[in-house]
Protein backbone atom coordinates (compact mmCIF):
# COMPACT_ATOMS: atom_id res chain seq x y z
CA UNK A 1 0.00 0.00 0.00
CA UNK A 2 1.47 3.35 -1.01
CA UNK A 3 -1.10 5.27 1.05
CA UNK A 4 -3.40 4.68 3.99
CA UNK A 5 -6.30 2.36 3.17
CA UNK A 6 -9.52 3.93 4.47
CA UNK A 7 -12.45 1.59 5.10
CA UNK A 8 -16.08 2.51 5.73
CA UNK A 9 -17.57 -0.15 8.01
CA UNK A 10 -21.25 -0.53 7.12
CA UNK A 11 -21.62 -3.18 9.79
CA UNK A 12 -25.30 -3.72 10.57
CA UNK A 13 -26.25 -0.09 9.91
CA UNK A 14 -27.98 -1.20 6.70
CA UNK A 15 -30.80 -2.53 8.93
CA UNK A 16 -30.93 -5.73 6.86
CA UNK A 17 -32.14 -3.78 3.80
CA UNK A 18 -30.20 -4.31 0.57
CA UNK A 19 -31.35 -0.96 -0.79
CA UNK A 20 -29.96 0.90 2.23
CA UNK A 21 -26.80 -1.20 1.93
CA UNK A 22 -26.30 -0.08 -1.68
CA UNK A 23 -27.02 3.55 -0.82
CA UNK A 24 -24.38 3.33 1.92
CA UNK A 25 -21.84 1.83 -0.47
CA UNK A 26 -22.35 4.62 -2.99
CA UNK A 27 -22.26 7.31 -0.31
CA UNK A 28 -19.04 5.88 1.14
CA UNK A 29 -17.43 5.88 -2.29
CA UNK A 30 -18.45 9.51 -2.76
CA UNK A 31 -16.75 10.31 0.57
CA UNK A 32 -13.46 9.11 -0.91
CA UNK A 33 -12.90 5.87 1.05
CA UNK A 34 -10.96 3.00 -0.51
CA UNK A 35 -13.23 0.11 0.49
CA UNK A 36 -16.43 -0.74 2.30
CA UNK A 37 -16.98 -3.59 4.75
CA UNK A 38 -19.92 -5.26 6.39
CA UNK A 39 -20.43 -8.32 8.58
CA UNK A 40 -21.54 -11.85 7.75
CA UNK A 41 -22.70 -14.19 10.48
CA UNK A 42 -25.05 -17.07 11.13
CA UNK A 43 -26.61 -15.90 14.41
CA UNK A 44 -27.43 -19.43 15.55
CA UNK A 45 -23.69 -20.17 15.47
CA UNK A 46 -22.57 -16.94 17.12
CA UNK A 47 -24.66 -16.82 20.29
CA UNK A 48 -25.44 -19.21 23.11
CA UNK A 49 -28.97 -20.57 23.30
CA UNK A 50 -29.56 -18.29 26.29
CA UNK A 51 -28.42 -15.23 24.34
CA UNK A 52 -30.31 -16.20 21.20
CA UNK A 53 -33.61 -16.75 23.01
CA UNK A 54 -33.44 -13.72 25.33
CA UNK A 55 -36.29 -11.23 24.74
CA UNK A 56 -35.32 -8.07 22.92
CA UNK A 57 -37.21 -5.10 21.45
CA UNK A 58 -36.29 -4.74 17.78
CA UNK A 59 -35.86 -1.48 15.83
CA UNK A 60 -39.61 -1.47 15.07
CA UNK A 61 -40.52 -1.71 18.76
CA UNK A 62 -41.63 -5.35 18.57
CA UNK A 63 -40.48 -7.81 21.23
CA UNK A 64 -38.69 -10.78 19.69
CA UNK A 65 -35.84 -13.03 20.67
CA UNK A 66 -32.37 -11.49 20.46
CA UNK A 67 -31.52 -14.05 17.79
CA UNK A 68 -34.51 -13.08 15.67
CA UNK A 69 -33.47 -9.43 15.87
CA UNK A 70 -29.96 -10.38 14.70
CA UNK A 71 -31.33 -12.58 11.91
CA UNK A 72 -33.30 -9.59 10.61
CA UNK A 73 -30.08 -7.57 10.29
CA UNK A 74 -28.41 -10.12 7.99
CA UNK A 75 -28.50 -9.87 4.23
CA UNK A 76 -29.54 -13.07 2.49
CA UNK A 77 -26.96 -14.96 0.45
CA UNK A 78 -28.56 -13.70 -2.77
CA UNK A 79 -28.46 -10.13 -1.45
CA UNK A 80 -24.76 -10.52 -0.67
CA UNK A 81 -24.14 -11.62 -4.23
CA UNK A 82 -26.14 -8.60 -5.42
CA UNK A 83 -24.07 -6.32 -3.18
CA UNK A 84 -20.81 -7.74 -4.54
CA UNK A 85 -22.02 -7.13 -8.09
CA UNK A 86 -22.98 -3.57 -7.17
CA UNK A 87 -19.55 -2.97 -5.67
CA UNK A 88 -18.04 -3.90 -9.04
CA UNK A 89 -20.54 -1.68 -10.82
CA UNK A 90 -19.67 1.46 -8.83
CA UNK A 91 -15.99 0.63 -8.41
CA UNK A 92 -15.59 0.22 -4.65
CA UNK A 93 -14.22 -3.02 -3.11
CA UNK A 94 -16.56 -4.79 -0.67
CA UNK A 95 -15.52 -7.35 1.92
CA UNK A 96 -16.79 -8.67 5.24
CA UNK A 97 -16.01 -9.73 8.77
CA UNK A 98 -16.75 -13.44 8.95
CA UNK A 99 -18.03 -14.42 12.40
CA UNK A 100 -18.21 -18.18 11.87
CA UNK A 101 -16.79 -20.84 9.55
CA UNK A 102 -19.95 -21.10 7.46
CA UNK A 103 -19.86 -17.34 6.82
CA UNK A 104 -16.13 -17.43 6.08
CA UNK A 105 -16.64 -20.09 3.41
CA UNK A 106 -19.50 -18.09 1.92
CA UNK A 107 -17.63 -14.78 1.57
CA UNK A 108 -14.65 -16.68 0.13
CA UNK A 109 -16.88 -18.36 -2.43
CA UNK A 110 -18.50 -15.13 -3.62
CA UNK A 111 -15.10 -13.66 -4.43
CA UNK A 112 -14.04 -11.42 -1.54
CA UNK A 113 -10.52 -10.04 -1.90
CA UNK A 114 -9.84 -9.98 1.85
CA UNK A 115 -11.43 -11.36 5.03
CA UNK A 116 -11.71 -9.48 8.30
CA UNK A 117 -11.68 -11.21 11.69
CA UNK A 118 -13.48 -9.17 14.33
CA UNK A 119 -12.16 -8.53 17.82
CA UNK A 120 -14.81 -10.91 19.16
CA UNK A 121 -13.38 -13.75 17.08
CA UNK A 122 -9.69 -13.19 17.79
CA UNK A 123 -9.72 -16.15 20.22
CA UNK A 124 -11.72 -18.45 17.88
CA UNK A 125 -8.95 -20.86 16.88
CA UNK A 126 -11.04 -23.02 14.49
CA UNK A 127 -12.19 -19.91 12.61
CA UNK A 128 -8.65 -18.52 12.42
CA UNK A 129 -7.31 -21.84 11.15
CA UNK A 130 -10.08 -22.04 8.56
CA UNK A 131 -9.48 -18.54 7.21
CA UNK A 132 -5.70 -19.05 7.25
CA UNK A 133 -6.18 -21.87 4.72
CA UNK A 134 -7.74 -19.60 2.08
CA UNK A 135 -4.60 -17.80 0.95
CA UNK A 136 -6.39 -14.44 1.21
CA UNK A 137 -5.19 -11.28 2.99
CA UNK A 138 -6.56 -11.13 6.53
CA UNK A 139 -7.33 -8.10 8.71
CA UNK A 140 -7.48 -8.88 12.42
CA UNK A 141 -8.95 -6.49 15.00
CA UNK A 142 -7.47 -6.75 18.49
CA UNK A 143 -10.15 -5.32 20.79
CA UNK A 144 -11.08 -7.19 23.98
CA UNK A 145 -7.66 -8.89 23.90
CA UNK A 146 -4.47 -9.11 25.90
CA UNK A 147 -1.11 -9.08 24.17
CA UNK A 148 -0.91 -12.82 24.88
CA UNK A 149 -4.21 -13.32 23.04
CA UNK A 150 -2.77 -11.42 20.08
CA UNK A 151 0.44 -13.47 20.24
CA UNK A 152 -1.58 -16.66 19.88
CA UNK A 153 -3.71 -15.34 17.00
CA UNK A 154 -0.67 -14.01 15.12
CA UNK A 155 1.03 -17.39 15.50
CA UNK A 156 -1.98 -19.17 14.01
CA UNK A 157 -2.03 -16.69 11.11
CA UNK A 158 1.75 -16.48 10.73
CA UNK A 159 1.81 -17.73 7.13
CA UNK A 160 -0.84 -15.30 5.89
CA UNK A 161 -0.83 -11.75 4.56
CA UNK A 162 -1.89 -10.28 7.89
CA UNK A 163 -2.71 -6.75 9.03
CA UNK A 164 -3.46 -6.03 12.69
CA UNK A 165 -5.85 -3.32 13.86
CA UNK A 166 -5.59 -1.55 17.19
CA UNK A 167 -9.13 -1.42 18.50
CA UNK A 168 -11.05 -0.80 21.70
CA UNK A 169 -14.42 -2.56 21.70
CA UNK A 170 -16.58 0.16 23.28
CA UNK A 171 -19.43 1.77 21.36
CA UNK A 172 -18.87 4.70 21.29
CA UNK A 173 -15.35 4.75 22.71
CA UNK A 174 -14.04 7.54 24.93
CA UNK A 175 -10.80 9.19 23.82
CA UNK A 176 -8.97 8.06 26.95
CA UNK A 177 -9.72 4.42 26.07
CA UNK A 178 -8.43 4.51 22.47
CA UNK A 179 -4.72 3.99 23.28
CA UNK A 180 -3.14 4.96 19.97
CA UNK A 181 0.31 4.28 21.46
CA UNK A 182 -0.43 0.58 21.04
CA UNK A 183 -0.01 1.01 17.25
CA UNK A 184 3.80 1.48 17.18
CA UNK A 185 4.16 -1.21 19.85
CA UNK A 186 2.31 -3.73 17.68
CA UNK A 187 4.44 -2.76 14.69
CA UNK A 188 7.60 -3.25 16.74
CA UNK A 189 6.48 -6.55 18.29
CA UNK A 190 5.18 -8.33 15.20
CA UNK A 191 6.91 -6.58 12.27
CA UNK A 192 3.49 -6.46 10.59
CA UNK A 193 1.39 -3.67 9.10
CA UNK A 194 -0.91 -2.21 11.75
CA UNK A 195 -4.01 -0.09 11.36
CA UNK A 196 -6.64 1.50 13.57
CA UNK A 197 -10.29 0.53 13.87
CA UNK A 198 -12.03 3.34 15.73
CA UNK A 199 -15.40 3.48 17.44
CA UNK A 200 -15.05 7.06 18.68
CA UNK A 201 -17.18 9.95 17.47
CA UNK A 202 -14.55 12.49 16.39
CA UNK A 203 -12.70 12.89 13.10
CA UNK A 204 -9.19 14.02 14.07
CA UNK A 205 -7.70 11.02 15.84
CA UNK A 206 -7.62 8.86 12.73
CA UNK A 207 -5.13 11.26 11.17
CA UNK A 208 -3.06 11.08 14.36
CA UNK A 209 -3.07 7.28 14.07
CA UNK A 210 -1.67 7.61 10.56
CA UNK A 211 1.01 10.00 11.80
CA UNK A 212 2.28 7.39 14.27
CA UNK A 213 2.31 4.51 11.82
CA UNK A 214 -1.19 3.22 11.05
CA UNK A 215 -1.44 1.97 7.47
CA UNK A 216 -5.18 1.36 7.53
CA UNK A 217 -8.15 3.16 9.09
CA UNK A 218 -11.60 1.66 9.61
CA UNK A 219 -14.55 3.73 10.80
CA UNK A 220 -18.17 2.72 11.24
CA UNK A 221 -20.42 4.50 8.75
CA UNK A 222 -24.06 5.57 8.86
CA UNK A 223 -26.29 7.57 6.56
CA UNK A 224 -28.00 9.02 9.64
CA UNK A 225 -26.77 8.59 13.23
CA UNK A 226 -30.31 9.12 14.52
CA UNK A 227 -31.51 5.90 12.87
CA UNK A 228 -32.62 3.08 15.17
CA UNK A 229 -29.98 0.50 15.98
CA UNK A 230 -27.06 -0.02 18.32
CA UNK A 231 -24.15 0.90 16.03
CA UNK A 232 -25.27 4.26 14.66
CA UNK A 233 -24.12 6.23 17.71
CA UNK A 234 -20.53 5.05 17.20
CA UNK A 235 -20.58 5.77 13.46
CA UNK A 236 -19.75 8.68 11.17
CA UNK A 237 -22.22 10.29 8.82
CA UNK A 238 -21.00 11.19 5.30
CA UNK A 239 -19.76 14.65 6.28
CA UNK A 240 -17.69 13.11 9.06
CA UNK A 241 -16.26 10.43 6.80
CA UNK A 242 -15.32 13.05 4.21
CA UNK A 243 -13.38 14.92 6.89
CA UNK A 244 -11.58 11.77 8.02
CA UNK A 245 -10.46 11.17 4.43
CA UNK A 246 -9.43 14.81 4.02
CA UNK A 247 -7.40 14.92 7.25
CA UNK A 248 -5.67 11.60 6.58
CA UNK A 249 -4.63 12.63 3.07
CA UNK A 250 -3.32 15.94 4.46
CA UNK A 251 -1.25 14.13 7.09
CA UNK A 252 0.13 11.72 4.48
CA UNK A 253 1.26 14.66 2.40
CA UNK A 254 2.73 16.47 5.40
CA UNK A 255 4.70 13.44 6.63
CA UNK A 256 6.81 13.70 3.50
CA UNK A 257 10.42 12.52 3.63
CA UNK A 258 12.70 11.68 6.55
CA UNK A 259 15.68 13.24 4.74
CA UNK A 260 16.64 16.63 6.20
CA UNK A 261 17.70 18.66 3.17
CA UNK A 262 17.25 22.17 1.79
CA UNK A 263 14.11 22.10 -0.34
CA UNK A 264 13.63 24.05 -3.55
CA UNK A 265 10.85 26.03 -1.91
CA UNK A 266 13.37 27.31 0.67
CA UNK A 267 15.90 28.79 -1.78
CA UNK A 268 14.16 32.15 -1.92
CA UNK A 269 14.03 32.31 1.87
CA UNK A 270 17.76 31.53 2.10
CA UNK A 271 18.62 34.32 -0.34
CA UNK A 272 16.50 36.80 1.58
CA UNK A 273 16.81 35.80 5.23
CA UNK A 274 20.45 34.63 5.27
CA UNK A 275 21.87 37.28 2.95
CA UNK A 276 23.43 39.31 5.74
CA UNK A 277 25.07 36.22 7.23
CA UNK A 278 26.36 34.97 3.90
CA UNK A 279 27.69 38.44 3.05
CA UNK A 280 29.83 38.37 6.20
CA UNK A 281 31.45 35.26 4.86
Q: What is the pLDDT along the chain (281 residues), one digit of tens a residue?
A: 679 999 999 998 898 999 999 999 999 999 999 999 999 999 999 999 999 999 988 777 788 899 998 999 999 999 999 999 999 999 999 999 999 999 999 999 999 999 999 999 999 999 999 999 999 999 999 999 999 999 999 999 999 999 999 999 998 999 999 999 999 999 999 999 999 999 998 999 999 999 999 999 999 999 987 677 667 778 999 999 999 999 999 999 999 999 999 999 999 999 999 999 988 87
Dist CA 113 CA 111 (whole Å): 6
Domain CATH for 96: 3.20.20.70
Threshold 0.75, pTM exceeds: yes
Domain interval for residue 131: 5-280
**So what's the pLDDT on residue 215?**
98
Q: Tell me the angle at which helices 77-90 and 18-31 cross, rounded to the nearest 10 degrees.
A: 30
Number of domains in the chain: 1
- Contact criterion met (CB below 8 Å) for 104 and 117: no
Which residue in 237, 11, 240, 18 sits closest to 119, CA to CA?
A: 11
H helix intervals, the chain: 18-31, 43-46, 49-53, 66-72, 77-90, 101-109, 125-132, 147-156, 182-190, 205-211, 238-255, 267-273, 275-280
**So what's the pLDDT on residue 229?**
65
Amino acid sequence: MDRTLIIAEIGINHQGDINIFKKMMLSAKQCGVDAVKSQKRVPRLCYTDEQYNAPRVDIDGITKSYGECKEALELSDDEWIEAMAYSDEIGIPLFASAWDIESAKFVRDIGTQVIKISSANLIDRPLLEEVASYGLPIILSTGMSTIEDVDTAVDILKNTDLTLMQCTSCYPCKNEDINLRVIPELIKRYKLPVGFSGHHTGVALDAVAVAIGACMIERHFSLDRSMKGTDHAASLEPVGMERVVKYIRAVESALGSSDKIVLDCEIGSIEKLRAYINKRG
